[in-house]
Amino acid sequence: MTDLITQWIRDDIRELSAYHVPDPGQMIKLDAMENPYLWPESMQQQWLSQLSEVPVNRYPDPSAAKLTKRLEQVMNVPQGMCSILGNGSDELIQIICMALSKPDNVVMAPEPTFVMYQIIARFTNMKYQGIPLDSHFQLDMAAMTEAIEIHQPAVIFLAYPNNPTGNLFSEQDVKTIIEMAPGLVVVDEAYHAFAGHSFMPMLSDYDNLVVMRTVSKMGLAGLRLGILSGPSDWISEFDKVRLPYNINVLTQFTADFALEQHDILQQQTDQICRDREILKEAMMGLNGIIQYPSAANFILFKAEHISSETIFSALKQSGILIKRFADTSGSLANCLRVTVGTADENQAFIEGMKKILP
């Protein structure tokens, strides 16, 4: 068996480890940037009754035309731009990389950032270059400029706000990178709902910019749905790599239903933003905790005198799951990331922290 595997499975795939997601069981789940709220009862009932009419025996609309239009409205995609949908923005990252994967083509991203850029670059046989952010987790423009000149990246991914650091990069720096880049720049606005800043209105200013959004962090993570928008020259090429029917009928129907009542999702998001500010305040009152600025629905932090491992385990003991980082030497050394939950969940997190801290 092992011989068969070594003979036939790609070496670089065997070296990868599978993306691990811990089982939350009954814990308070503050690890994955999910929206903690369900829909109002009446909306649930309306959805359920309409769902029974969805023809699951038929293939979905291959281009998800109705949903694409709805998303373009909700996301304020400028007139004249095109979009494709993905099974989560993860799939869109994969589509971009597959379309750009030529031998020696480079994927570049500042680090630390969303790990899927690197993972997907690797399994689509692209080269990956991570360029460290500066000590404030801003773009190190000298390093970026040099790296872009040397590596001539086919694509640069910029998460805006960035995950796991939570901050927005300087808008001017991002513009400079778009202007400098020899290839495509993908601005990943997964946390747009919490940020209030976007490159979407600037799509028509550049011929090498595309903007990616997802409904995951807005409260629809279970549906798996992302959108990539930009000039039709790029989008129509990416569309050739997309598998037909990649957005299933249940997602097409449910996302359209939910986005028709976007004000409800918006109210939830606004609540999360208010609770984020309350959580930041409360964390400032915690002894020896350093937190980083966040324009997203999570906060990156570390403790001055206690290891992230100790905090992670103690919180887990009290039934609260947050995110720890395996990286122990880089700029995320000793860091943890907590997602903004409901007011009660955030309070439980703060109480849990108080028990651990001196």
Ligand X SMILES: *Cc1c(COP(=O)(O)O)cnc(C)c1O
Q: With contacts defined by CB under 6 A, name the span among 84-92, 120-128, 262-270, 341-349 that binds ligand X.
A: 84-92
141 within 8 A of 176, measured Cβ to Cβ: yes
CB of 353 to ligand X, least distance (A): 23
Torsion angle of C-alpha atoms 32, 251, 115, 33, degrees rounded to 10: -20
Selected range binding ligand X among 82-90, 171-179, 195-203, 282-290, rule: CB under 6 A: 82-90
Residue 89 or 308 with smaller CB distance to ligand X? 89
CA distance between the termini of the chain: 53
Q: CA-to-CA distance for 85 and 6, rounded, in angstroms?
A: 36
Q: Cα separation of 58 and 255, whole Å?
A: 18
Residue 109 binding ligand X, by CB under 6 A: no
90 counts as binding ligand X under rule CB under 6 A: yes
**Buried (b) or exposed (e) across 52-90, using 16+ Cβ within 10 A?**
eeeeeeeebeeebeebbebbbebbebeeebbbbbbbbbb
What is the DSSP secondary structure assignment for residue 16, as one 8-state letter? Answer: S
Judged by CB under 6 A, which stretch of 47-55, 86-94, 171-179, 333-341 contacts ligand X? 86-94
Residue nearest to ligand X (CB): 88
Distance CA(165)–CA(113), nearest Å, equals 7
User: Comparing C-alpha atoms, which of 165, 156, 220 is closest to residue 188?
Assistant: 156
Cβ atoms 115, 107 nearer than 8 A: no
Nearer residue to ligand X within complex by CB, 190 or 258: 190
| Helices (H), ranges, 135-199 | 141-151, 171-180, 192-195
341 near ligand X, judged by CB under 6 A: no
Helix, strand, coil fractions of the chain, as percent rounded to 5: 45, 15, 40
111 forms part of the interface with ligand X (CB under 6 A)? no
Q: Which is nearer to ligand X, 60 or 226 (CB)?
A: 226
Q: Of 163 and 334, which CB lies nearer to ligand X in the complex structure?
A: 163
Interface positions, 114-153, toward ligand X (CB under 6 A): 114
* Strands annotated E in 112-207: 127-132, 155-159, 184-188
- Our finding on whether 190 is near ligand X (CB under 6 A) is yes
Closest separation in Å from C-beta 355 to ligand X:
29
| Largest pairwise CA distance in the chain | 60
| Identified binder of ligand X from the candidate list 36, 60, 88, 341, rule CB under 6 A | 88
Structure-block tokens of residue 178: 């778009």
Instruction: Determine contact, residues 160/199, Cβ cutoff 8 Å.
Output: yes
The smaller minimum CB distance to ligand X, of residues 34 and 173, is found at: 34
Nearest alpha carbon to residue 320 among 31, 21, 20? 31
Among 64, 84, 155, 159, binds ligand X (CB under 6 A): 159
Q: CB-wise, 211 or 306, nearer to ligand X?
A: 211
Report, in Å, the least distance between residue 294 CB and ligand X. 13
* List 110, 153, 166, 226, residue binding ligand X (CB under 6 A): 226
Compare residues 21 and 142 and give the one whose CB is closer to ligand X. Answer: 21
For residue 13, what are the CA distances in angstroms to 5, 124, 128, 241?
11, 10, 15, 21
Nearest approach, Cβ of residue 281 and ligand X (Å): 24
Cβ distance to ligand X smaller for residue 27 or 221? 221
Binding residues for ligand X, total number by CB under 6 A: 13
User: Which stretch, 60-68, 85-93, 138-146, 240-248, contacts ligand X (CB under 6 A)?
Assistant: 85-93
Among 214, 251, 268, 346, binds ligand X (CB under 6 A): 214
Residue placing its CB nearer to ligand X in the complex, 218 or 306: 218
The minimum distance between CB 102 and ligand X, in angstroms, equals 24
Residue that is written with structure tokens 């090429």 in the block: 237
Contact residues for ligand X, defined by CB under 6 A = 33, 88-90, 114, 159, 163, 188, 190, 214, 216, 221, 226
